[in-house]
C-alpha cells in the first residue's frame, strides 16, 4: 500500500487509549478554554483522523506564511495550505500553556481537543492578505472561502494537540464518517493495492458515476473510494445526509459488490480551487489511495479559477517528490447522443455542443424542485427520486 506522507506510519492525533482519553476529558474541564472557529474544529478532526499526517498540531505564523508562499513549512516539510488556530482574543486564557478547544458546531460546545501552547502571535493585515491571495488566488470578500478565512480572528495560537472526539461527524454520519486510519485498514482488509479516490461535495450524476468507472478501468484499480465532504458548505449546496443517501443508492445499483467504498470526512470546504485540489490529494495519499481523480474546476466556485488550474498546479507548483499519489486528469464528462454513452468531452473531437446532453446546475435544481426527473442520460432515476423528495421537503 502507498505510504503516508512524512512518516512510515500514520500519526493520528486522536487519543485512542480510553483511560487516557477519559483522564484528558476530565482535565479539560479545569483548563482555560476557547470557543474556536468551525475551521479550527474541522482541522482538529482531520488531525485526529491522521489525514494531515505528519502535522502534530496548529502551525505557527512562520510556518503558515511559508506554506502559503511555497507549500513547504520552515523545516522543508510539504503541506499545501496553512493549518491555523485563529482566534479574536486570548484574554480568557491568561498565561496558560495548555488550553481546551471548544467545538462551535456541537450543542453545549464540548471540548474537541486539548492544545499545548507553543506561541501566540498576532497576524497583521499584510500577512493575512498574503495567505489569502496565495491560497485562494483572490482577495475578493465575496469568495466564500476568503470570507470564512478572514472572518476568523487575527491571533494565531500554535502548538500540538490531543484530539478527544470527532465533533458531530461520528454521531451524525456514523455509517459514513471514517478516519484515514480506518480507511487504510479497510483497504488492507479488502486486499486492494491500486485504489482510486473520488472527491465530492454533491450528489453524483451519471457523468460522475461513469468517470469513476473510466478511472477504475484505465488505471486497472482494485477499488474505488468515494470520499464525500461532510462539513460546512455554502448556502444552496445539498446537505450531507441527502448526498450520502443518493450516492449509496447509486453504488448499490450500478457498481459491482465490494468494488466501491462510500466514506466521508469531516472538514469545511475551502473552495480554494487548485490549492484545495493539492490538499485533497495530500490526505487521499494518507488514507491509502494510490490515485486521485481531478476533473474540471475541482474544488472551485464561481469563475475564480481556470477549468484545469487544479490539474496544472501539480506540474507547476507542487514540489517535486512531495506526493506519491498519482493524479487521474479528467475533462468534463457528458452523455454523447452520437455514441450513446458517457464520454470525456475532450475525447470526442468530432462532436459539437449539441451532440452532448448538458444541463446547468440551475436547470437541474429547477426540474427537481418541480418534481421532474432529469433525463436518464444525465441522472439515474433512483438518484433523481431522492433529490426530488429533498427539494419537495424544503419547498
Q: Say how far residue 201 (Cα) sits from the centre of its chain.
A: 8
pLDDT tops 90 at residue 36: yes
**C-alpha–C-alpha distance, residues 175 and 170, integer Å:** 8
In this predicted model, which residue has the larger pLDDT, 296 or 361?
296
- List for the chain the helix, strand, coil content (%; round to 5): 35, 20, 45
Confidence at residue 380, expressed as pLDDT on a 0 to 100 scale: 95
Confidence at residue 362, expressed as pLDDT on a 0 to 100 scale: 82
Confidence at residue 340, expressed as pLDDT on a 0 to 100 scale: 95
What does DSSP assign to residue 117?
-
In this predicted model, which residue has the larger pLDDT, 365 or 144?
144
pLDDT tops 80 at residue 395: no
Q: Looking at residues 115-134, what average pLDDT do you find?
A: 98
Q: Which of 154, 201, 329, 365 is catalytic?
A: 201
pLDDT tops 90 at residue 146: yes
Confidence at residue 56, expressed as pLDDT on a 0 to 100 scale: 98
Give the Å distances, CA to CA, from 186 to 183, 189, 252, 288. 5, 5, 18, 10
Cβ–Cβ under 8 Å, residues 45 and 31: no
Write the pLDDT tens digit of every residue in 265-278.
Answer: 999 989 999 999 99
Helix axes 274-286, 125-136, angle to 10 degrees: 80
> Mean pLDDT lowest for which of 31-40, 165-174, 354-363?
354-363
Q: Kind and range of the H or E element at 45?
A: helix 38-48
Percent of the chain with pLDDT over 90: 92
Confidence at residue 231, expressed as pLDDT on a 0 to 100 scale: 83
Q: Looking at residues 155-161, what average pLDDT do you find?
A: 98
Residue 87: phi and psi, rounded to 5, are -130, 165
Q: Looking at residues 200-211, what average pLDDT do you find?
A: 92
Residues with Cβ within 8 Å of residue 367, at least 6 apart in sequence:
359, 373, 374
Confidence at residue 211, expressed as pLDDT on a 0 to 100 scale: 96
Confidence at residue 202, expressed as pLDDT on a 0 to 100 scale: 86
Pairing of β 98-102 and β 111-116? antiparallel
Q: Which of 98, 202, 329, 365 is catalytic?
A: 202
Domains and CATH numbers, the chain: 18-170 (3.10.400.10), 175-394 (3.40.50.620)
pLDDT tops 80 at residue 348: yes
Write the pLDDT tens digit of every residue in 62-95.
Answer: 999 999 999 999 999 999 999 999 999 999 999 9
Reported pTM: 0.94
Q: 300-336 b/e with 16+ CB inside 10 Å = b?
A: bbeebbeebbbbebbeeebeeebbebbbbbbbbbbbb
Interior CA angle at 356 toward 353 and 362, to 5°? 90
Q: Is 258 considered catalytic here?
A: no
| Average pLDDT across the chain, whole number | 95
Write the pLDDT tens digit of every residue in 368-377.
Answer: 999 999 999 9
Give the Å distances, CA to CA, from 120 to 114, 181, 375. 16, 31, 56
Q: Looking at residues 343-368, what average pLDDT do you find?
A: 91
Q: Say how far residue 142 (Cα) sits from the centre of its chain.
A: 21
Residues with Cβ within 8 Å of residue 105, at least 6 apart in sequence:
38, 41, 167, 168, 232
Q: Is 337 considered catalytic here?
A: no
Cβ–Cβ under 8 Å, residues 159 and 118: yes
pLDDT tops 90 at residue 236: no
Residue 104: phi and psi, rounded to 5, are -80, -10
Confidence at residue 123, expressed as pLDDT on a 0 to 100 scale: 98
Confidence at residue 319, expressed as pLDDT on a 0 to 100 scale: 95
> Mean pLDDT lowest for which of 37-51, 246-260, 358-372, 379-393?
358-372
Confidence at residue 361, expressed as pLDDT on a 0 to 100 scale: 80
> Mean pLDDT lowest for which of 39-43, 233-237, 322-326, 350-354?
233-237
Write the pLDDT tens digit of every residue in 7-30.
Answer: 999 999 999 999 999 999 999 999
pLDDT tops 80 at residue 232: no
Sign of torsion over alpha carbons 244, 246, 248, 250: negative
Confidence at residue 97, expressed as pLDDT on a 0 to 100 scale: 97
Q: Looking at residues 95-110, what average pLDDT do you find?
A: 97
Confidence at residue 350, expressed as pLDDT on a 0 to 100 scale: 94
Confidence at residue 238, expressed as pLDDT on a 0 to 100 scale: 86
Amino acid at each position: 500500500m502507498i505510504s503516508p506522507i512524512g512518516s512510515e506510519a500514520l500519526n493520528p492525533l486522536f487519543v485512542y487509549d480510553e483511560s487516557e482519553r477519559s483522564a484528558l476529558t476530565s482535565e479539560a474541564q479545569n483548563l482555560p478554554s476557547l470557543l474556536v472557529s468551525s475551521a479550527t474544529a474541522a482541522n482538529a478532526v482531520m488531525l485526529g483522523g491522521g489525514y494531515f499526517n505528519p502535522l502534530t498540531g496548529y502551525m505557527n505564523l512562520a510556518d503558515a506564511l511559508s506554506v502559503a508562499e511555497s507549500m513547504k513549512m520552515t523545516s522543508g516539510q510539504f503541506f499545501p495550505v496553512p493549518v491555523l488556530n485563529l482566534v479574536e482574543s486570548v484574554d480568557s486564557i491568561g498565561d496558560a500553556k495548555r488550553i481546551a478547544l471548544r467545538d462551535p458546531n456541537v450543542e453545549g460546545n464540548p471540548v474537541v481537543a486539548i492544545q499545548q501552547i507553543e506561541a501566540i502571535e498576532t497576524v497583521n493585515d499584510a500577512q493575512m492578505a498574503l495567505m489569502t491571495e496565495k491560497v485562494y488566488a483572490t482577495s475578493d470578500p465575496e469568495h466564500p472561502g476568503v470570507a470564512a478565512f478572514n472572518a476568523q480572528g487575527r491571533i494565531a495560537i500554535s502548538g500540538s494537540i490531543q484530539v478527544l472526539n470527532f465533533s458531530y461527524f461520528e454521531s451524525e454520519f456514523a455509517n459514513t464518517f471514517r478516519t484515514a486510519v480506518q480507511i487504510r485498514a479497510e483497504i488492507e482488509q479488502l486486499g486492494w493495492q491500486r485504489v482510486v479516490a473520488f472527491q465530492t461535495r454533491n450528489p453524483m450524476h451519471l457523468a460522475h458515476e461513469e468517470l469513476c468507472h473510466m478511472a477504475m478501468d484505465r488505471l486497472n484499480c482494485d477499488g474505488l473510494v468515494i470520499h464525500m465532504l461532510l462539513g460546512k458548505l455554502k448556502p444552496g449546496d445539498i446537505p450531507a445526509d441527502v448526498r450520502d443517501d443518493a450516492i449509496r443508492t447509486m453504488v448499490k445499483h450500478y457498481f459491482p459488490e465490494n468494488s466501491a467504498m462510500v466514506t466521508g470526512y469531516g472538514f469545511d470546504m475551502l473552495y480554494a480551487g487548485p490549492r484545495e485540489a493539492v490538499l485533497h490529494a495530500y490526505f487521499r495519499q494518507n488514507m491509502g489511495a494510490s490515485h486521485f481523480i481531478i476533473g474540471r474546476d475541482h474544488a472551485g466556485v464561481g469563475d475564480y479559477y481556470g477549468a484545469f488550474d487544479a490539474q496544472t498546479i501539480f506540474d507547476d507548483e507542487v514540489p517535486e517528490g512531495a506526493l506519491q499519489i498519482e493524479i487521474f486528469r479528467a475533462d468534463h464528462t457528458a452523455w454523447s447522443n452520437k455514441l450513446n454513452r458517457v464520454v470525456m468531452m475532450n475525447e470526442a473531437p468530432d462532436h459539437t455542443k449539441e451532440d452532448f446532453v448538458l444541463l446547468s446546475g440551475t436547470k437541474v435544481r429547477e426540474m427537481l424542485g418541480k418534481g421532474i426527473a432529469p433525463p436518464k442520460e444525465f441522472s439515474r432515476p433512483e438518484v433523481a427520486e431522492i433529490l426530488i423528495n429533498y427539494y419537495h421537503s424544503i419547498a
